[in-house]
Amino acid sequence: MAAEECESSQAKATHARADEEELAEELVEPNQVVARSADGTRFYLYTHQAGGHTPFLRSANGSVCKPVIALELQFYEALGRQFPQLRPFVPQFLGKVTVELSLPSSVAPSPVHTTCSPPSSSASSSPAEPTRAAKKMRTGSYGKKRRLVKPAPSSSLTAAMSADGYSAKLWKQERAKKSKRYPSSESSGGPVALTRSDSGNSKDYLMLGDLTRDFRRPCVLDIKMGTRQHGEDAPPAKVKSHSAKCAATTSLALGLRLCGMQIYDEREEGYAIWDKSWGRQLTASDIEPALETYLTNGSTLRWDALERLLRKVQQLRHVVGNTTGLRCWGSSLLLVYEGDRRHAMSSVDVRLIDFAHCQMSSSLETPDEGLLLGLTNIDRYLSNIVARRPPEAGAGASVASTTATLPLAI
Of 356, 52, 101, the C-alpha closest to 203 is 101
pLDDT of residue 383: 98
Cα separation, 330 vs 65, whole angstroms: 19
State the pLDDT at residue 102: 53
Backbone torsions φ then ψ of 223, nearest 5 degrees: -120, 120
State residue 402's pLDDT score: 39
| CA dist list (Å): 399 to 290, 296, 298, 379 | 18, 10, 11, 22
**pLDDT the model gives residue 214:** 86
pLDDT at position 52 is: 64
> What are phi and psi for residue 68, nearest 5 degrees?
-70, 130
The pLDDT value given to residue 84: 97
- Give me the sheet containing 270-274, strands edge to edge: 145-147, 270-274, 256-265, 218-225, 332-338, 348-353
| pLDDT score, position 60 | 75
Q: What is the pLDDT of residue 40?
A: 77
Q: Which residues of the chain have pLDDT under 70?
A: 1-31, 48, 50-53, 101-166, 168, 170-171, 173-200, 344-346, 393-410
Inter-residue contact 326 to 362 (CB < 8 Å): no
What's the confidence (pLDDT) of residue 293?
A: 94
CA distance to 58, 90, 159, 356, 360, per residue, from 46 (Å): 5, 18, 11, 19, 29
Question: Which residue ranges form the domains of the chain, and what is each CATH number?
Answer: 2-146+155-208 (no CATH), 218-400 (3.30.470.160)
Residues with Cβ within 8 Å of 35's Cβ and at least 6 positions away in sequence, in order, are 42, 43, 57, 99, 100, 101, 103, 194
According to the model, what pLDDT value does residue 321 have? 98
State the average pLDDT for the chain.
Answer: 73
Contact call for residues 48 and 115 (beta carbons, < 8 A): no
The C-alpha atoms of residue 245 and residue 251 are separated, in whole angstroms, by 8
Contact 44, 31 (CB under 8 A): yes
Q: What is the length of the chain?
A: 410
List all residues 6 or more positions away from 84 whose beta carbon is below 8 Å from its beta carbon. none
Phi, psi at 99, each rounded to 5°: -125, 155
